[in-house]
Amino acid sequence: MRTKLIVGNWKMFGTLAETRKLIFQLAVEWGKPCEGVEVAVCPPFTSLIVAKHQLELSHIKLGAQNCYAETSGAFTGEISPAMLADIGCTYVILGHSERRTLFGETDELVSRKVRASLDAGLTPIICIGETESQRDNNETESVLARQLAGSLATLTNDDAAKIVLAYEPVWAIGTGKTATPEQAQAAHAFIRSELSKKFGDAAGSIQILYGGSVKPQNAKVLFACPDVDGGLVGGASLDADQFIAIIEAAATP
């Protein structure tokens, strides 16, 4: 039985004051652990330390939204997985479609980042997903298979227990369009079957999150799908009430 995981991807939102307020609402005002649900928030780099201090006594884990593929060196402007681990991050989101499309990240770069993150002791949340035209052309499975093969290229069987996947159809991100539970389940089952080809039985314990306009109104039906193990939540994670409602939707059967 896989634990559900709900991750808030704050993207490029949040001053320090906004971070303090949102984390206070989640960790102090609400703050109760939800049976069977793990929760993490991924604020921008500039808010990580402040968030870490505020989350000290909380069950909510911390993650970053990106990192580079090296431990240290002359890479102006980059942040290493070791630095993220050093300040108390548990997770790092890698290969998000915004990074792939806006910043030219390839599967090859994502796979190097995944390797470096695992080596630093972080849990990578590896994002994959098809565009609308790829879905319309019946290419969803071939795109997912290609992204998986490329992004997981450096992994061994022992690594399977330490990764999280996120299926994020690009057409559903920030658009208010959500995959139907049937579409999500079909994609997740396909991803799990590809993971089994690579990792064997260990694939059964890998959490596969759904991302793309997850809201309190659609969370429950999505999380009820057998291969959907939680959500990667963008817009709705910036509103404490909505994010809490999504967490609670994951907790109740």
Q: Is 210 exposed, middle or buried (0-12, 13-18, 19+ CB in 10 A)?
A: buried
Residue choice 214, 228, 246, 247 for contact with ligand PGA (CB under 6 A)? 214
The answer to whether 233 contacts ligand PGA (rule: CB under 6 A) is yes
Which residues are paired to 125 by β-bridges? 93, 164
Q: Are 37 and 2 in contact (CB under 8 A)?
A: no
**Is residue 53 annotated as part of the catalytic site, yes or no?**
no
Residue span binding ligand PGA (CB under 6 A) among the ranges 56-64, 157-165, 197-205, 209-217: 209-217
Task: Please tell me whether residue 173 binds ligand PGA under the rule CB under 6 A.
Answer: yes
Region binding ligand PGA by CB under 6 A among candidate stretches 26-34, 54-62, 205-213, 220-228: 205-213
> Is 188 assigned a catalytic role?
no
Look up residue 81 and give its amino acid: P
Q: How many residues bind ligand PGA (CB under 6 A)?
A: 13
Structural element, H or E, at residue 231: strand 230-233
Tokens found for residue 48: 């990580």
Least separation in angstroms between residue 178's CB and ligand PGA is 8
Helix (H, G, I), strand (E, B) or coil at 138: coil
Contact call for residue 165 and ligand PGA (CB under 6 A): no
Q: How far is the CB of 94 from ligand PGA (least distance, A)?
A: 12
Query: 230: helix, coil or strand?
Result: strand
Strand-pairing partners, residue 123, are: 91
Which residues of this protein are in contact with ligand PGA, per CB under 6 A?
9, 168, 173-174, 211-214, 232-236
